[in-house]
Structure formats: structure tokens, C-alpha cells
Amino acid sequence: MKKPEATYLKDYVPPSHSIEWCELEFDIFDEKTIVKNTMEITASDKVDATLFLNGEDLELLSLKCNGVEMDTRNYVKNDRGLKIFSLPAKCTVHIATVIYPKQNTRLEGLYLSGGIYCTQNEPEGFRRITYFLDRPDNMTVFTTTVIADRKRFPILLSNGNMIEKGCVSDTRHFVRWHDPFVKPSYLFALVAGDLDVFSDSFVTSSGRSVELNIYVDKGNGHRCSYAMRSLKAAMAWDEKEYGREYDLDVYNIVAVDSFNMGAMENKGLNIFNSHYVLADEEHATDQDFMGIESVIAHEYFHNWTGNRITCRDWFQLTLKEGLTVFRDQCFSADMNSPVVQRIKDVKMLQQRQFAEDAGPTAHPIKPDHYIEINNFYTATVYEKGAEVIRMLHAFLGPEKFREGMDRYFILFDGQAVRTEDFISALTQDCSIDIEQFKLWYTQERTPILSVDGSYDAKNREYTLRLTQIIPKSVEGKEQKPYLYPLRFALLDEGGKELDFLLDDNSQTKHKEGVLIVSKEQENILFKNVAVCPKLSINRGFSAPVKVIFKKADYGFLMSHDSDGFNRYEAAQMLALQNMIGMAEGKEEDGRFIEAFGKALSDKRIDLMSKALILELPGVDMLMQEQKPAEIESLVSVYEKLLKTVAVTYKDVMSEMYEQLNGMDSSSIDAEDMAYRAMKNRLLGYLAELEDDYAKELCLNQYYNATTMTERLFALKMLEDHYADAAQKALNDFYDKYSSYTLVMNKYLSIIASSKRDGVLERV
């Protein structure tokens, strides 16, 4: 078997030609689609007249240059593409091909699924539609005509603005679309089907009215209002925060069950799986609503960070994805709670990306080679990439970051660029060592920061010792110390921040409460510190590192830290230490139980944050801490600690639950979501008791629920803990929702993840 060949960044060569404009015509029939492709092609300087166009699984009908059929001696066709010889420096090439969307089981390019034609072209699907320079640095103006049966495919969509429509015959019609903005082929999109539409409009800051449409499978139109609301909020936010106004006359979204990916940001025609768009208050959970808000915004924000400015090559993928994830995280923080959003973002990073970074497939956010580019659509490129942008934001501050982003948009609009171009535009006024900071792009694995501290009461000095532990590269490359911002505070016994003087001979402070970490080892001296401080380090998760601080008083921080994220992190760390110790045969740590009670009763903590602080880290996080992981042991200690907490605080939790249960909290605003989150957290602990009281609570919540969030959680508690009552509730749920695919996915998930014996047989 032939060993797969790697593609290397160092071997990048600009395209030999550029395609200035492209006119496409799709003639859709039952068994085949005829694609006519007319391109204006210009040769680059210092190249010969040979052009290679990517193409796979295409049936070539004709090939013309400037209207003249080309001699077969002037081109060679193979399974990777089409090589054309002796082309003029500038010419018009016409190619007609046949493709078979119904047979396209790879679901790349144009495919037919569920009676709907869809495209998925990122990263290299367009070559399965027509012969083309299918690479992101070829930027082209597209005009697209779609022809199909009028009755079966009344909706014909593509990128840009609709410029013409009409009849071809008694049974067939066409729609022509024109996108005036250059884009690479991976952003091309086409949809043809019989769809419902939910429409609205948005008036931009300059006064233009933009038509907004969400096309969905038949019968789902009434479930689009939240997605539309999220879209309009994202459009307004991008204008306010980045000065970016939408640029076309229409913004179309297609959300169908048959789309094979999650979501795709094609210019002016985003395509989603319906899971990421459809929601109403009867059938969707709070997590669904927040997820929809985030992903709708993410794909919209790509209009400028990904579409108007795109990647020069696929090694630069984090240029658009890391930046856009950062933008959608900031949007969600502004729409909801900044602390809660930060906790959720870091939780995802630690569970997914830290695990990825610790494994054999660890890679930098900007890899230098790949065998299959699809394998780099990872948490590292996306989530860690966003953390790198966040650090730049911290170094620059909001005003200079905005100035840098404005400069980036002005300099590179309509271009395919590199991460270096982005960093250069962003950091013109930045005093940090940019070359050292760039190591975040090229080094892999999660950095570790070892922390130690000591207090000299006589001289009222606190010395902080920091050591960067640089993990080894997967491929044995030398790894160097990183540069990053480290937010911190010195706290007194009540959690109040202490005053101090920083010895600038030992450390340069970036700004108040932020240190610059840049060396493998450094000692930082704080003078005039009144009492022995409690150290709160990496506040707000200012850098994506693992902190090892053996002297950390996590019980204190869980109870008193004024930084909301660090309070959550302290709870997680204290619980992890407790459970790992239990797995090794040690007794339960009373500090966690005590700190849990303080957080539970602390009325200063908002309910959504409290619900997260009181969540135990999952078995997946325990597995990262124990090497090798003993799964049965970890599950056992996890469940034991859950029950211990429930037994200890049963009365307090019961009282709080009854109080929350008596409130009307059925809306989808942030406050009511917080009520439900806390209510479910309490019910989750009480259900561990497996007594009649908790059983009755679960039954009442299930049958009297006014939201899917409450009903679904109660159903899971019944399934996990009360087998005698669970089946009746499961049958009731099935009877109510069996016609709703997205809801039934949740139903099946509850059964598949059940704690009861015999789950595999039941599945």
C-alpha cells in the first residue's frame, strides 16, 4: 500500500494563473447535473503557459479556449485534474462537465440528500463540481445560474445577490446570482429544493436595508425566530464592536436535516444542519438556544474574518477560525454573562483541546505539514487559536486591538493572507516581543506553569517564583519558553485585593494586575505587602496553560476569590484533587465539602455562575489527571463524592430547590435560564439520594415542566436513578415528541448514557 504523501508549508508556491471571474451554469436533472464553467484566466509572471486545474470524479464533455474547441493533444486529464498546455497569457476557458450528485456519497462538492441539493466545498470540495484552481489563494468573482424543475425545486440559491429569474420551459425555471466580491472556491454554495422560508430585514448603520431569509425543511418555518433574532443581534454587534457592516443586499441561511456538516460560512449563503438553527420554547433546551446564538454569530462574523479576508493556504486555517471563535465568544459574553461564558469556553478547551494536546495527534495551531487537511479542523486550531487571539487582545487593550483590526480590514480586504500578515497589522503599536509570542503558532502541547511563593513577614515582601515547563514536541523539535499575559491578585483573608509595590528590576508589569511571563524561570518581588497573601493566579484564564501551584488554597479561593472564573477553577481543582486522592485510597477531603457549602449558600454569586461552580469535574477530566486512568475506580469516586455532597447538604438543597420551583421561570432570557440551571443542579444532587422525596421531585418536574430544559433533565434523573418510574416517563416523552427529530436525538442520548444496568441491550 502506497504511503500517503504529506503537504508541507515550506513547499508553498503561488498559483501559476488566476481566475478573474467565473460564470457557472448548473442544469439539474434527476440522474445527473451538467455544469458549464466559463472562466477568464490570467497567467502570472515568470511562468510557462501550462495550467493545472483541480478536478475529481468529473466527466468532461468539452474544453474550449477563446471559443475554440481544444485539441486533445493540448491537455491531459487524470484522476486529480486537468493539465492544459500552450494557453495564451490571458484567455477565456469554457469547460462543460457532468457530475452525479445522487451518487456522491462523499458529500463533498454538490450532493443530493433528502431530496435537496446542497454543496460542501471547504476545504477541497469544489474540484468535484468543475475543473478549477481549487485553492484558497485564488480569488474569483462568481456569477451562477441554477436551472431545475420548477415544481420539485422551487428554491434555487447561490452566493451573492439575485439578479435574474425566469422560465426555461413549461416545467423548468432558472435563477441567476451574482457575488460582486472576490472569494475562493471553497466559499461557493448552491442549494436547490422545496423549502419553507422565514424572512425578516435588517437596517445597517449606513441606512441600507438587508433582506434576511432562513430556508428550512417543510414544516419548520415557525422554529426560526430565535435564530433570526440571533442573526440580527450579531449584525448589530459587529457594526458596534468592529465597524463591520454587511455588504450584500440579501443574507440567506439554509438549515436542513440533510446537510452533512455543522455549519458553513459560504459568502451570503450560510448552510447549516438544522440542529444549529431550529428552536422553539417547547422543543429546545437552554443549551440549544445558547448554541444557536453562538453558531449563527460565528458564521455571520466569518463574512469579514474568513470571507472578505481569507487564508492564503490551509496551513493558515486558524487565521479565520481562531479569530472568528474569539469574536463569537466575545459576542456571547456580551449577550449573556461574561463570567459564565468564560467558564464555558475554558471548560470546552480543557476537556477537548488539552486532551488533544496531550495525545499523539498534538499539533500547533499553525501546522507546518499535513497528510489530510480535514484532520486539522480541530479544537487546537479553533479553541486554542481563539485563546491566542485573546492574549493579543490582553496585551494590546481594547482600543489598540480595535485599531489593529481596522488596519487589518483596510490593508487586506479582498485578499488571501497569512497569520504573519494578521499579526503585523494588529501589533504595530505593541511593545511585547512579537517573535517570541509567535511561538504560540508553531509549538504544540499545553505549556505548564509551575508556581511557588513565600512571604517575608519581617520585610513585608512576597516572592513569586514562576517556572515554565516546556513539554516536548511530538516530533522532537526544540520548544522554547512562551510569552503570555498572567493576570493575578494577592488577596487577604477576606478575599480583598492587597496593595503592593512591584520591584520592576525583577519583573516588567504589563498593566495593573497583569504580569508578562517570558522566561523559563523568573522571580517576582512584591514589596509593602501587609499580610501573608493568598495568591489568585491566571485570573480569567488569561493564558491557556496548566498551572501547578502546590501551595494553592483552593478551598479559600472557592469561597472568597473575587474573580468569577478563578472561583470556578478553584472548585474544579479542589474536587479533582479530592477524587484523585480517593481513587488512590485516601479519605474524602473535608475542605471541598466545606467550601462547597459556602458557595452553595453565598447569595452574592449569581445563580448561573453558582450552578457551574457547584458542578463536579467529569470523569473525562479525571482521566486527564490519572495516568494510566482506571475508569471503574474514577467513576466510583465521582459518584461517591456526588452522594456525599447530596447527603451533607440535603436540607439546604431541598429548601433552595423548593424555592426555585415555585418561581415562574419559563422564558428564554438569561435570568430564567439561570434559575433553571441552578434548579437542575440541585435536582441532580438530590436524585443521587435515590429516596422517595427526590423521586417525587423528579416526577413532578418532569410532568409539570414548562420548558424542555427542565423536562429533559428530570427524565434523565428518572432514567439514571428510578427505574420503576422511568419507563412510563420515557413512553410519555416518546408519545409527545416522536415526530421531532432533534428532540428524539436527546431522548436516544438519555437512554444510551443511562447509568442503569443493561443499557447496551436496551440500546
Cα separation of 577 and 592, whole Å?
A: 9
The most distant pair of C-alpha atoms in the chain lies apart, rounded to whole Å, by 95
Between CA 458 and CA 532 the distance in angstroms is 11
Dihedral sign, CA of 392, 240, 266, 746? Answer: positive
With beta carbons less than 8 A apart as the criterion, state whether 195 and 155 touch.
yes
With beta carbons less than 8 A apart as the criterion, state whether 109 and 130 touch: no
d(CA 581, CA 177): 63
Instruction: Tell me if residue 282 is catalytic.
Output: no
Please give the Cα distance from 409 to 242 (Å, whole number).
10
Other beta carbons within 10 angstroms of residue 3's beta carbon come to 6
Q: Are 175 and 156 in contact (CB under 8 A)?
A: yes
389 and 322 Cβ atoms separated by less than 8 Å: yes
What residues have CB less than 8 Å from 632, skipping those under 6 apart? none
C-alpha cell belonging to residue 542: 488569561
Could you tell me which residues come within 8 angstroms of residue 506 by beta carbon, excluding any fewer than 6 positions away?
A: 522, 523, 524, 525
Cell readout for 166 is 425566469
User: Distance between CA 383 and CA 35 in Å, rounded?
Assistant: 38
Separation between Cα atoms, residue 256 and residue 114, nearest integer Å: 9
CB-based burial, 500-520: b 16+ in 10 Å, e otherwise: bebeeeebeebeebebbbbee
Pairing state between β 81-84 and 51-54: antiparallel
Give the alpha-carbon dihedral of 505, 510, 515, 520, to 10 degrees: -70
CB 291 within 8 A of CB 147: no
Dist CA 589 CA 371 (whole Å) = 48
Which listed residue (23, 265, 299, 688) is catalytic? 299
Distance CA 147, CA 156 (A): 8
Q: Counting beta carbons within 10 angstroms of the beta carbon of residue 7, is it exposed (0 to 12), middle (13 to 18) or buried (19 or more)?
A: middle
Q: How many residues does the chain have?
A: 763
Task: State whether the Cα torsion 430-433-435-441 is positive or negative.
Answer: negative
Other Cβ atoms closer than 10 A to 723? 13
Which residues does 341 contact at the CB level (< 8 Å), separation at least 6?
329, 332, 333
**What is the tally of helices (H) and strands (E) in the chain?**
23, 33
Would you say 469 and 449 are in contact if contact means Cβ atoms under 8 Å apart? yes
Q: Is the peptide bond before 628 cis (omega within 30 degrees of 0)?
A: yes
Torsion of CA 498, 503, 509, 511, to 10 degrees: 40
Q: Phi-psi category of 734—alpha, beta or left, where left has phi over 0 and alpha has psi -120 to 50?
A: alpha
Handedness of CA 305, 311, 314, 317 (dihedral sign): negative
Which residues belong to the active site? 299
